[in-house]
Structure 1
């Protein structure tokens, strides 16, 4: 697995406009044994969009943050814009992948999609195992989406939204069954909303009270619900998100510790060092040396 040199930061690859359809918010691409991954995907990077890959057949290993995945047949892989991704090698893919942006989800007709578990991803999943019947259903919906995608006209966007809603809702049901087996309660939804806000604002907001204000509830109520539903204090979720981002950057980027602390919203690098050691038991410098030695 490659890491970045001292002159490189983690690149963010923008959404690429489809030159055939003109779409700049959503694309679908089918692969029948091609090598769809370009060389620049073999270095650590982020994508500025959501990615869903339906793998009918593929071999190889890729990383999402600090976790390696050996690719499996008849499996759906999904990522969100904040994650750091890297492939170990380009290998032929039989399947299809969807990409769409936050702007696509912000469209009024797509607003409900943003709330689906597969998009919110409260359990930080990446790999959704499919039965043969699930795979057949996903393939059928992708065929319908692809047909509409290549059929411009007055009804195209409505049809795409309808098919995509069915597909993502179906996958979200599988997601909940695979990761929890239960439908979320009102308090569980509040936990997920808090986690989503942390994901959005963790660099700027480091206090639970600030998130409670965003959600128009008291800090005490938010803390009580989050602790009851997750078993961890609300502040712990925020600290874990900061540590996760710090670990990503320590492994994949060559930012200095001072630059990394500033990127995460810490005005004082020494305070960031103390925070990281308190949360992990090791200093940022020690962690960087250990994790890079482990994965080289």
Structure 2
């Protein structure tokens, strides 16, 4: 059976961000019409007016005007149907989502629900996204281009997290695999520098390594080892971008005494050496 494809943001952009404004009546090119797939990044939608719908993890969701929604890395979905809607699409590398914000987004229920924005919240989101897009699309990016783009992006993500941090209400009961996946991801974020063994996480969760792997595959479509590697790379990219630590110091910080080994696994995962990643992102 053919696997569900995983689309990687780094194959489309090198800024960790993709943003566009869509309007009613737009017809997508055939090559852009995607079937069921997963993404390795976050996707946010702001539907300003009109209606739209989205099939995600076997649930059909409908959006009215003034709605905010997001898709987590690993969730199976189809392209949003927005032929009669106006709004925003924003794809964001998980590296650029601060841990506190990730905690809000990733500890929602099995299927996060659209958030209805007030008139003030919608205007604030639209103002920030207009400014972000204008800066993002500059023909001749000047000094500090990426830091400014990422700062504007953080403003939007922070507003989205603020909306969802106060949103509650059980809409869908979580299955045992989904509960276990959430517990695993929380442990992983807290212990990734010291613990990288699938069996160690299984022991901490009082389940067998086989069961944990089966649960993760059922809930996310991906293995325990995959999520451990993703978390390591995510933390590595954050340190490369935000800190002044050397490659050797970052390797040690992440629990690798051999920094050359760390550089090899980073290049295998990301397609670039840690140094090239830092240079490219700090242009």
- Normalising by structure 1, report the TM-score: 0.55
Task: Answer with 1 or 2: which has the greater Rg.
Answer: 1
Q: Distance in 2 between matches of 1:205 and 1:63?
A: 34
5 Å matches for 1:229-244? 242-243=214-215
Aligned residues: 204
User: What are structure 2's unaligned runs of at least 5 residues?
Assistant: 170-180, 225-283
- Corresponding residue to 1:54 among 46, 49, 53: 46
What is the root-mean-square deviation of aligned Cα atoms in Å?
Answer: 4.0
- Normalising by structure 2, report the TM-score: 0.57
Shift of 1:52: 0.8
Q: Distance in 2 between matches of 1:243 and 1:192?
A: 11
User: What are structure 1's unaligned runs of at least 5 residues?
Assistant: 1-5, 181-190, 213-218, 224-233, 250-262, 266-296
CA contact (8 A) 1:55 1:95 kept: yes
CA contact (8 A) 2:15 2:146 kept: no
1:247/1:28 Cα in 2 relative to 1: closer, same or farther (>3 Å)? closer
CA contact (8 A) 2:48 2:87 kept: yes
What residue in structure 1 maps to residue 174 of structure 2? none
Q: State yes or no: 1:178 paired with 2:163.
A: no
- Deviation string for 1:31-60 (max 9, x for gaps)? 122245857655321123211111113434
CA contact (8 A) 1:114 1:120 kept: no
- Corresponding residue to 1:131 among 110, 115, 118: 118
Q: Distance in 2 between matches of 1:177 and 1:164?
A: 21
What residue in structure 2 maps to residue 195 of structure 1? 185
Higher RCO (CA 8 Å, separation ≥ 6 residues): 1
1:210/1:88 Cα in 2 relative to 1: closer, same or farther (>3 Å)? closer
- Deviation string for 1:185-239 (max 9, x for gaps)? xxxxxx978534569x9xx9765x4268xxxxxx4xxx7xxxxxxxxxx759x97
